Amino acid sequence: MKSVHISPAEWRWVAIFSGLLVALTLLPYAWAIAVSGGEYQFMGVLANPQDGATYLSKIQQGREGNVLFELRHTPEAHNGVAFHLFTWVWGTWRTCWGFLTW
């Protein structure tokens, strides 16, 4: 196989372009954080925030040590059910390591 040499100028171009692309994708989040306050609070979800709130609720329940989840966003009484293994693992992992507490 023939080796391909990439010059430092090419790497610099890749780094600058990548950095600009990351900054561009973070602009909506920065705007949401900047305008939140008062009666509104940004929870970190831009697309479908109602669904994001349910996932954050499930992660919180995992953090509390619950294995059976309750749907906290409904007025109807119901029993807990074991589902969304990922959110339980994420919540349990957060508790064990003390990450990302809110």
Residue 102 pLDDT more than 80? Answer: no
Confidence of residue 14 (pLDDT cuts 50, 70, 90): very high
Q: What is the pLDDT of residue 18?
A: 98
Domain spans of the chain? 1-42, 49-97
In 1-102, beta strands by DSSP E: none
SS3 of residue 81 by DSSP: strand
Confidence of residue 99 (pLDDT cuts 50, 70, 90): low
CA distances from 86 to 47, 63, 89 (A): 20, 12, 5
Q: Are 57 and 88 in contact (CB under 8 A)?
A: no
Rounded CA separation 24/29 (Å): 10
Rounded CA separation 51/45 (Å): 9
More confident residue, 63 or 12: 12
